[in-house]
Structure 1
């Protein structure tokens, strides 16, 4: 009966994951995204948010300021303020995140600027225009990932239970059927979610995705500064052309990964 000790966590993982996904779907259904503004002309900040979320907005702001020589992004992963007068709320958020010393690492600046009030206001406006998905729908995307993980966990626990030495009076088929129940729960939940709320995009609604596509098509064939920043907004820092800037953001990604690994080791 040792396999029962594996069946209980399988049910717990599957049940909790499906419950959280259902609650997220209920919250999303209760949110009125508002009428879609089909005549809305996306700004670069809005395009960055719809394509990559708050952190993409922070990246775009820093790249834009660096190209105007008002912010120095060193290849070592440090940001230095050259012009302390921000031209809009996003730039002022980045300058404020760097701090009064005028210099900071890029990773914490990006994280702080992404949670600034200017980005939250931008997100609210896009949700109100029907171009961005509300918080509840974003929770659905995370909930789907949790249910998928739960399904894999149930399969792993079932395989471990079947690998245990069992008495002759305990047929393995019956054990497999017991584990098939929580697996069916997770797969059924995923199927229903896909039929009801797919696509569960991370940031942009279907209308927002169409506007991003139109923005990219209109920018094709031109080589001005706005086109360059549009590529950064839609594709992220991988679209940065300057080697020094690429090195600065690559160092940022490496630094962030090292901190994530350190936090993971501490949890373990």
Structure 2
């Protein structure tokens, strides 16, 4: 059986994703509804799967729509998920609905982000996070993660910068481990340079801690929640997520309500 460059490229990519996900050939074969022998042949470029099999393999590996498109391309098939621009009319109803969600979260801050922290939309309460930041960090496209950790951004006001910064960076590292990206690795290196070394004490519970943020009215203690669009069939929408900040205690809630009333 002859092996083409396309066969080999798909096989290498399939094996790379399987090893990245730490899944055995047998586990992936069972999940995708094929045999371990057939999967082995595909990884070695001795068998070229049909489009349906590529889709099943990508789904079993938990690939994102962008990653599934990439795997299809290596197998010689057209991408299945479209990728729209944010300003296209097709996405306008979704973005309008997200604006309503952001407004409904008031008086607490909330943002819609693209990958790696780029802000797409935000509600007015986000001002509590951006106040005092350098204008350079607030020029579009704003990156909320850089804003959070940069010494000219929120960092001077973050009372628990070491723990909070590690929380952000470890989440990004987990993302990089799952879906390698050279740009993300560079971004992690940049952010790591802004964060002081953590010195866990005897009561250390890990990095899942509230953000403690100084404000003129008093210290804010904020929790974050992240909502993703798991059923989106457009690459752009699938990569968006909504990050909402919630008060971790009643004094924080009262402070944010008072700010909203004043403004």
- Normalised by the length of structure 2, the TM-score is 0.26
Higher strand share: 2
Larger Rg: 1
Higher helix share: 1
- Normalised by the length of structure 1, the TM-score is 0.26
RCO comparison, higher one (Cα < 8 Å, 6+): 1
